[in-house]
Amino acid sequence: MRLILNIILLIATLVASYAEYVYFTVIPPELDKTAPFTVRSQGYFTFDQNKALGGRRDIALSRYIPLYTYLPNTTDRVQKNMESLIKEISFLQEQKPLTGQELVDYLHEAFGLKIGRSQANRFLGYPNLKNLLNGILTLEKSIMENIIAKNQEPYKGKQAIEVLYPKPKGIVSHPTNEVLTIQQARMMLQDKAHQLFYEIDNNVLNPVIEISQTTLLPNLKYDQKENNRRIEEIMRRYPSKVIHYDPGNILVPFHKIITEEDLLLIDSYLKFAQNNLYDMTLWIFVITLLIILFNDMFILKVLSSGQRKTLSYRPILSLLIISVILFKACLLFTPFPIYFVPFALIPFVIILLNHGRVAATWSVVTGAILMTIISTETFQIFLFFAIGGLAAVLLSLKIQKRVHVLISSFIVGIINVIVMSAFSAQWQNIMPLLGKSSELWLSLSALASDKTLSGSIGWAFTGGILSGPLALLILPVLEVGRHATSNFKLAKYADLQHPLLKDLFAKIPATYQHSMTMASLAQAVGEAVGANTLLLRTGAYYHDIGKMAEPMFFSENQSGGENPHDTMDPSESARIIINHVKHGEQIGREMGIPEVIVDLIKQHHGTLFVEFFYNKAIKANHASKPRKKDFRYPGPKPQTLEAAILMIVDSVEATFRSMEAPTQEQIERMILLNIVKRIADGQFDECNVSTRDVATIVEILTHSIEATFHSRITYPWQDKK
């Protein structure tokens, strides 16, 4: 099972490292579709916008259709100008004698034309001049039915233009071959006038045409403001900057509608990732494999050689797998900075599962390396998560209630903010300002006002706060089996209303009372040596449940009556006594008691020798010496400090009940003797019980037993007559 979990962890890490690349290789991103997840840079990536977008920008600009505004009153203005000209000429022709100077002045002032006086006189001397001018006006009206622009510069090389007509017509697209420039319109007027009035003397017709041409006006106006806005929009759509992305920076956020720029950015990033694919994949595989192997060896060789040799690898490996998947999901399906990841849930869960500080610290280091591999592969990210995780280890040592987890996660959030600020500060600019309070304050104020930094700091704080609640959510998942048990789960079994404890009280109240006394003593000792007191108390409640199978074979339940062992074979008596451990294990498993409590049931007698019945067997059978192994408990020996404490307290409590009015010195000597005998028998060889622990246990047990079983005054009715 351990091998399977390690393989799953390896595969999960590798998949998490290349999830985006694999996905987009199989299913390429599409324009105007939503981004399926957040795309983040996993390295130092440079996106040259001009290189990627320059060609598309040129194409977009070449295909750009300019916008003109149609001026509906232009034809009226042209007609009004011609009518004014006709009226003025009619007036001048009526004057006698004809004077061309007034016409010269009028044309110069009204139309900016300069003609000679003699030419003006000939012009005024033509008798049908008014009819000619009305004919020219008719030609102008027909020409003004076209769309006429000032010049062709804005639409040169274009296939079409857009014209904004008054409502309700709106914007209409026209091919550019339908558009006349004002110069082309005037040439058209000249050609048509010569064709229509070919009989008229050119000395008269040409000045009339020249004057009439000046009255023509363009009826299209190039909308400079709107066209500039549209062109700027194209430039914004295809920018030309060189953008540098740091590891962890967001390229395209989750659920964003993919634009053309996003498409090119993703494509450029995939090419960048592909260039480093083979080298990085091998590196990631080797590093991940080594970390998993080191983690496996650490659990087996280091953690299991400490106070808790029965430490289960399943919760730790399962938590790492869940964390890799959860953290990658946070990166993929949220548009927030990487600092948002609630990494501190790893140490919180390890501590809540009672695996201790060493296991939590190692899991922080392992988890931080795996997190770095699947996210940015930078040392700064490793430090950020490692510091926050180690802070969570220190803050979670005294967690007793769920609210303590929430308080600790709040403090982790504050520490995340401090670390994030330290990483983001421009120390090369700040250090020279030390001693210059005003300048230093301005520099720090500018740093605090940085919106990008403040956003990252806010999400770092949020990630710390979320780690506690998420740890409480994950905890029940890891506690599904009996191999992982938190203090919260232990509290359920520490309830004296639990059916098994009620059954114990109903069937064998003496053993129940013995268990309660043991729980009180064990808790006092546990508090002194730093053991898990809740586990000790709960283990004491259940350690003798196996006696319910054959209760009358145990002295505390005989109430001074007949002892069945007096008439039994010593070997059979030893078997019944020893089997209460096996029965306890069986009952515990049938009732679904957590494995950590079942371990205490199995280990509270270790492999102790049932000396009383062994000596009795020797006396009863002179022919052959009985085998010692038949008179030993099956074990295993205590694997944890808690199991060792229960073994000591169990023997001390039983021995004390056989003593009559002992003094403090006698109690202390008895406790020490019990411990020394078990040390000599090698019962504590497989757990970490130091000489300091032994001294503390002796002292605490001596005072606790004295306080629990202190002598009372004798009342008059108790005196012997």
The pLDDT value given to residue 347: 93
In this structure, the number of other CB atoms found within 10 A of the CB of residue 256 comes to: 14
What does the CA dihedral 281, 283, 286, 289 come to, rounded to 10 degrees?
Answer: -70
The pLDDT value given to residue 168: 87
Q: What is the DSSP string of 274-313?
A: HHTHHHHHHHHHHHHHHHHHHHHHIIIIIGGGTTBTT--H
Amino acid at 368: A
Mean predicted confidence (pLDDT) in 181-185? 93
pLDDT, one tens digit per residue, over 315-373 is: 888 899 999 999 999 999 998 989 999 999 999 999 888 887 888 999 999 999 999 99
- At residue 308 the predicted structure's pLDDT band, cuts being 50, 70 and 90, is very low
The pLDDT value given to residue 450: 56
Q: What is the CATH number of domain 310-482?
A: 1.10.1760
Which run of H or E residues covers position 499?
A: helix 499-507
* Delimiting residues of CATH 1.10.1760 domain(s) in the chain: 310-482
> Do 613 and 573 touch, CB atoms closer than 8 A?
yes
HSE, side-chain direction, 13 A CA sphere, residue 447: 17
The pLDDT value given to residue 558: 66
CA dist 51 and 44 (Å) reads 18
3 state DSSP class of 508: coil
Average pLDDT score, the chain: 85
Higher pLDDT, 186 or 715: 186
Report the chain's C-alpha Rg in angstroms.
48
Amino acid at 660: E
Higher pLDDT, 451 or 129: 129
Mean predicted confidence (pLDDT) in 187-197? 91
Q: What is the CATH number of domain 488-494+505-718?
A: 1.10.3210
- At residue 160 the predicted structure's pLDDT band, cuts being 50, 70 and 90, is very high
3 state DSSP class of 174: strand
Query: Which are the contacts of 324, defined by CB distance < 8 A and separation ≥ 6?
Result: 9, 12, 13, 16, 370, 371, 374
CA dist 246 and 375 (Å) reads 12
In this structure, the number of other CB atoms found within 10 A of the CB of residue 279 comes to: 9
Tally of residues, the chain: 721
Mean predicted confidence (pLDDT) in 145-154? 92
In order of 106, 115, 329, the CA distances from 208 in angstroms are 14, 11, 82
Mean predicted confidence (pLDDT) in 301-306? 63
Mean predicted confidence (pLDDT) in 135-161? 90
Q: Is the pLDDT of residue 172 over 60?
A: yes
* Among the ranges given (185-194, 373-382, 677-686), the one the predictor scored with the smallest mean pLDDT: 373-382
Instruction: State both tokens at 71.
Output: 């001026």
pLDDT, one tens digit per residue, over 211-236 is: 888 888 999 999 999 999 999 888 88
- At residue 544 the predicted structure's pLDDT band, cuts being 50, 70 and 90, is very high
pLDDT > 90: percent of the chain:
38
Geometric angle at alpha carbon 250, from 247 and 254, rounded to 5°: 140
> Do 411 and 395 touch, CB atoms closer than 8 A?
yes
The pLDDT value given to residue 721: 44
pLDDT > 70: percent of the chain:
91
pLDDT, one tens digit per residue, over 256-303 is: 999 888 888 888 888 888 887 777 788 888 999 999 999 888 887 776
Mean predicted confidence (pLDDT) in 662-668? 88
Chain-centre distance for alpha carbon 86: 82
Q: Is the pLDDT of residue 430 over 50?
A: no
Helix and strand element counts for the chain (H, E): 30, 10
* Residue 711 DSSP symbol: -
CA dist 349 and 347 (Å) reads 5
* Delimiting residues of CATH 1.10.3210 domain(s) in the chain: 488-494+505-718
- At residue 453 the predicted structure's pLDDT band, cuts being 50, 70 and 90, is low
- At residue 307 the predicted structure's pLDDT band, cuts being 50, 70 and 90, is very low
pLDDT, one tens digit per residue, over 496-533 is: 999 999 999 999 988 899 999 999 999 999 999 988 88
Q: Is the pLDDT of residue 661 over 90?
A: no
Instruction: State both tokens at 573.
Output: 């008596």
- At residue 491 the predicted structure's pLDDT band, cuts being 50, 70 and 90, is confident
The pLDDT value given to residue 254: 92
End-to-end distance of the chain based on CA atoms, in angstroms? 72
- At residue 98 the predicted structure's pLDDT band, cuts being 50, 70 and 90, is low
Q: Is the pLDDT of residue 650 over 80?
A: yes
CA dist 411 and 390 (Å) reads 12
Give me the helices (H) in 18-73, please: 19-26, 49-62
